[in-house]
Amino acid sequence: MTDPIADMIIRIKNALLAGHATVQVPHSKVKEALANILVEEGYVVGMQVKPQMPQAVIEMELKYIGKVPAITDVRRVSKPGRRSYSGAKDIPTALGGYGITIVSTSKGVMTGTNARKSNAGGEVLCQVW
């Protein structure tokens, strides 16, 4: 797999479109941090890491408002073929501020708002709205 973060995003989008209650993705530290941000921001109800062999999985409980998914769309910004880096002051906003931008900084994976506050730029991973 060349882009595990894109795989996670696509699994979430497909599960939401199919109306599933949960989705499982292979575990990694970056994906776990990304899932924690989605829980903190209210896009996902909850997540837990389930140890399995040969690799642990992250199980996320998806959030719906009525029958409409809480996540409308997710866009992968930095891709393996074209990495996208941004300074603290130049971090893009998602959907004019209605969504969140997730950035991988030297201080960890965080939202674009938190990255601006802590004055940390980095790789723009994805945008969620």
pTM of the entire predicted model: 0.93
What does the block give as tokens for 39?
Answer: 């829980």
The mean predicted confidence, pLDDT, of the chain is 96
Same domain, 27 and 40: yes
Which CATH number does the domain housing residue 10 bear? 3.30.1370.30
Res. 21: pLDDT tops 90:
yes
CATH of the domain at 124: 3.30.1490.10
| 110 shares a domain with 87 | yes
Residue labelled with tokens 């004055």:
119
Distance from C-alpha of 83 to C-alpha of 91, rounded to nearest angstrom:
14
Q: Residue 26 belongs to what domain range?
A: 4-69
Distance between CA 41 and CA 111 in Å, rounded? 9
Number of independent structural domains in the chain: 2
Q: Domain check: are 10 and 57 in the same one? A: yes
Residue 84 sits in the same domain as residue 53: no
Residue 63 near residue 23 (C-beta atoms within 8 A): no
Query: pLDDT tens digits, residue range 34-54?
Result: 999 999 999 999 999 999 999
| pLDDT value for 102 | 97
Q: How many residues does the chain have?
A: 129
